[in-house]
């Protein structure tokens, strides 16, 4: 193998052309975190409904929105902090810490929240969100740096698509408790505590992972350590020379001073913002939105069970396959094409629901079909691709921050969307759903435009090319 850049090219090329079981291992170690993230974020919608049934009297419309969305706004903080730490301290030093924070938040929410104490629950959910935001920055960065060129989209997408299992697990577990007669006062605590289990299982393996060789070679200039870690973790042997040392010198300020990076960052943050408003607003508030389909004669726990069953149908029948179909074709169709298709169909389905709402609300099958269509194309579209894009389009020395800021943009949209949805829907979801879906249609159009104008196609290109870091590679 030709040794250019003192071994840096050799390390990158070895990973770009690699194949091995270590890819599956890395996907599982990273992906279990996203199973947990999805479960913890989306289960809160059911929990909020259970609190009133458990006798809580403090959960009015305002606090319902705040409980549901607090973890999302703290995820913004976690994504930016961990993103910067990834670049400043290295991946290994912080990988696993975000899950420890998540575990504390999940268990505190379940076991250290006094009866009727909304503020305590919000505080614990805030801590939980910091860990979740950190996971968005760390896991996507690490899997990208271990991925080969040919399957990079599928590998990064697979990590994120583990979210689909958490999305489905939430209503399944909730239904299991409710249908077996477990009291709401116990059920809501159990649902929150369960979210700590997958994170606890995988945290050890994250702490044992070595520094990604791409980072060690490009950011630290230590190609010998990179080659050693590559051999130990993947089994791939690379001969390197440090006769001429080359490193990537892009500072974090390059994201704002370099016009290409700045426009790309606007694109990744903006598209993720538009998508997450729809995804999280609809998913966390799904019990409220789908309660419009439940006959008015059904009240209390039976009504919550019925709306949760509808939620499970949408998540399992539409969202779940959307994740994995998108992941399987990312490297064939391309990130940009899939994201454009997703936003376009989201806009169409939301507009149809808004315009024809009063005609279709009485037809459960028709409403679920259109609503399910939007969910499928959120997943076979921007929900997967907005996660894949950021670690591909920023240099290794700013990849953590660029990815973290992109995720932060999404979680700002998720926070505003969830909180706003709770306020918009209020106590009469049926009356306000047409306005909500009209708003979501407009946001989908904006997401389409941002993607079309600002984001490149990255399929089939080496990571060092798509990230633009070659422009910042210099002799040390």
Residues 29-74: pLDDT tens digits?
999 999 999 999 989 989 999 999 999 999 998 998 899 999 999 9
Mean pLDDT, residues 225-246 taken together: 90
Q: What is the pLDDT of residues 363-401, one digit of tens each?
A: 888 988 998 999 999 999 999 999 999 999 999 999 999
User: How many angstroms separate the CA atoms of 452 and 336, rounded?
Assistant: 8
Tokens standing for 120?
Answer: 């305590």
- In this predicted model, what pLDDT tens digit does every residue of 131-151 receive, in sequence order? 999 999 999 999 999 999 999
pLDDT at residue 4 tops 70 = no
pLDDT at 427 over 80: no
- What class, spelled out in words, does domain 5-460 have in CATH? mainly alpha
Residue 6, pLDDT score: 62
pLDDT score of 90 more than 70:
yes
| Whole-number Å distance between alpha carbons of 355 and 365 | 17
What confidence tens digit (pLDDT) does each residue in 157-180 have?
999 999 999 999 999 999 999 999
The confidence score (pLDDT) of residue 2 equals: 39
Residue 181's Cβ-count burial label (10 Å; 0-12, 13-18, 19+) is: exposed
Across the range 228-247, mean pLDDT stands at 89
Q: How far apart are CA 307 and CA 224, in angstroms?
A: 57
Q: What is the pLDDT of residues 401-421, one digit of tens each?
A: 999 999 999 999 999 988 888
Q: Does residue 470 surpass a pLDDT of 50?
A: yes
pTM metric for this prediction: 0.92
Q: How far apart are CA 443 and CA 411, in angstroms?
A: 15
Average pLDDT over residues 213-242: 94
pLDDT at 153 over 80: yes
Predicted confidence (pLDDT) at residue 107 exceeds the cutoff of 60: yes
CA distance 227 to 327: 30
Domain boundaries, the chain: 5-460
Burial of 111 (0-12, 13-18, 19+ CB in 10 A): exposed
Q: What is the DSSP string of 51-99?
A: HHHTT-----HHHHHHHHHHHHHHHHHHHHHHHHHHHHH-HHHHTTHHH
b/e burial code for range 449-459 (CB count within 10 A of at least 16 → b): ebbeebbeebb
């Amino acid at each position: 193998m030709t040794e250019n850049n003192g071994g840096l090219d050799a390390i990158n090329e070895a990973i770009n052309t690699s194949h091995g079981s270590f890819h599956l291992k890395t996907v599982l170690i990273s992906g279990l975190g996203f199973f947990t993230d999805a479960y913890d974020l989306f289960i809160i919608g059911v929990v909020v409904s259970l609190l009133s049934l458990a006798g809580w009297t403090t959960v009015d419309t305002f606090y319902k929105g705040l409980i549901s969305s607090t973890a999302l706004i703290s995820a913004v903080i976690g994504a930016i902090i961990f993103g910067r730490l990834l670049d400043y301290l290295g991946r290994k030093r912080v990988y696993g810490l975000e899950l420890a924070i998540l575990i504390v938040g999940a268990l505190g929410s379940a076991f250290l929240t006094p009866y009727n104490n909304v503020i305590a629950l919000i505080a614990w959910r805030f801590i939980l969100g910091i860990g979740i935001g950190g996971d968005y920055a760390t896991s996507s960065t690490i899997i990208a740096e271990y991925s080969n060129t040919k399957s990079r989209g599928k590998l990064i997408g697979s990590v994120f698509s583990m979210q689909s299992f958490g999305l489905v697990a939430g209503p399944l577990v909730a239904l299991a408790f409710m249908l077996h007669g477990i009291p709401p006062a116990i059920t809501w605590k159990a649902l929150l505590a369960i979210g700590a289990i997958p994170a606890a299982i995988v945290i050890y393996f994250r702490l044992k992972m070595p520094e990604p060789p791409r980072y060690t070679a490009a950011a630290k200039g230590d190609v010998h350590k990179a080659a050693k870690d590559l051999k130990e973790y993947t089994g791939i042997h690379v001969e390197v020379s440090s006769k001429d040392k080359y490193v990537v010198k892009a500072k974090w300020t390059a994201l704002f001073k370099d016009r290409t990076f700045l426009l790309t960052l606007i694109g990744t943050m903006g598209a993720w913002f538009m998508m997450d408003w729809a995804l999280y607003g609809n998913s966390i508030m799904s019990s409220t939105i789908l309660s419009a389909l439940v006959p008015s004669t059904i009240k209390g726990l039976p009504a919550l069970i019925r709306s949760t069953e509808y939620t499970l149908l949408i998540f399992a029948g539409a969202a779940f396959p959307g994740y994995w179909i998108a992941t399987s074709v990312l490297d064939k169709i391309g990130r940009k094409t899939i994201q454009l298709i997703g936003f376009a169909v989201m806009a169409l389905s939301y507009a149809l629901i808004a315009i024809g709402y009063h005609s279709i609300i009485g037809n459960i099958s028709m409403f679920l079909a259109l609503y399910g269509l939007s969910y499928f194309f959120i997943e076979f579209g921007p929900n997967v691709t907005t996660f894949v894009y950021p670690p591909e389009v920023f240099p290794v020395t700013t990849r953590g921050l660029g990815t973290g800021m992109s995720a932060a943009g999404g979680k700002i949209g998720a926070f505003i969307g969830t909180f706003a949805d709770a306020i918009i829907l209020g106590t009469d979801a049926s009356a306000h759903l047409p306005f909500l879906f009209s708003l979501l249609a407009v946001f989908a159009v904006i997401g389409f435009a941002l993607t079309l104008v600002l984001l490149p196609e990255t399929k089939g290109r080496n990571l060092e090319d798509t990230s633009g870091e070659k422009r910042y590679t210099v002799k040390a």
